[in-house]
Structure 1
């Protein structure tokens, strides 16, 4: 009896987790640099499933703004929030009030020169992430890839990562923003499939409940 209840509970829990992932993806359709999440098998999880970030380039939107940067290929910008280093694909950067290159939320964009004080005029950023003022090299953006994508943990404005870093081999495109890589049609299909499966599990629960009720009543009759 307990095995049946646990199996049904796991199935329903997995559906709820999948629906939460779809909801999270849809809510971020318009979030620059957002990487969709999928619920995949994970035997270390109590449900046997866990959310994983799907690393794939999103489409580009051209802005021609010098501090709008998009990454092509796997990899992340490194940003600093307080004393914590985070990762992000959202390259809508600004010149903070103190002149430091930062995210829209005010987090410092990391470079090999530390906090980068930008001039008031536009800078050039090449496809390897080097920042130039005219012919003068100012800094190299701190770009990194991840060797263990399953250890990425989405947070507001980026990701926490406690896995092994890997060498970044992508390119930077200046004057463009990477849009979310969420496929709306695919998410709609997943929503339909998960909803139908959850309804089937709910019917199984109702049938099992009636079976138990009948069995208990018959025991009482005896």
Structure 2
């Protein structure tokens, strides 16, 4: 394959990856706590791109429910699924049958006191993520700051992160759920731009193919 075809093919491949990222974002417009993704150049590999999670607060939906918690700032709740620790921004928590604070999927919400067994009555959660029953401190929610965003990878119902856990300087808001941070108008604009660019690349491939075919035929005429 010629260098020209390789360059054109890489450009078309990048457009396809970008369109897939836009489709993924649009599909999760209504997913609480979802963080949009972008395809960015992988500077360690000049021929590749990498999918990067875009850390940005989404709008809040006020619910007034005591176990609905939203994060502000680039932090993630830490939850435990079996022996694996995952991260999530979806703070619609529940009191599990055994009384433990958990996600809707049943994952244990991690705290500095281990599994948090909730009392029957409502609790108060302050801006630092400390859970109170009246004047009694029960635990502090484990919130991870993300020091290396490139190492954050989306997985089923959460995120995996094998990078350095930094200091989280945000706040917790009780009685609210964070919505997806995807901007529908921005995604529509990106869809239009990527589609047009992909069409241009396809035309370039067609023109190059005709030029190559003409050149080969002329050689044959000689």
Give TM-score scaled by structure 2 length.
0.96
Secondary structure of 2:216's counterpart equals helix
Secondary structure of 1:79's counterpart equals strand
Secondary structure of 2:77's counterpart equals strand
2:153 aligns with: 153
Distance 1:99 1:46, change over 3 A: farther
- 1:181 & 1:45 partners in 2: Cα distance? 29
- 1:185 & 1:46 partners in 2: Cα distance? 30
Secondary structure of 1:163's counterpart equals coil
1:182 aligns with: 182
Aligned residues: 222
Secondary structure of 2:102's counterpart equals strand
2:171 aligns with: 171
1:121 aligns with: 121
Following TM superposition, the consecutive aligned residue runs of length 4 or more in structure 1 with deviations greater than 6 angstroms are none
- 1:220 & 1:69 partners in 2: Cα distance? 73
- Mapped contact 1:13–1:47 kept (Cα < 8 A): no
Give structure 2 stretches of 5+ with no counterpart. none
The yes-or-no answer on 1:85 pairing with 2:80 is no
2:18 aligns with: 18
Give structure 1 stretches of 5+ with no counterpart. none
1:108 aligns with: 108
Give TM-score scaled by structure 1 length.
0.96
- 1:205 & 1:162 partners in 2: Cα distance? 40
1:39 aligns with: 39
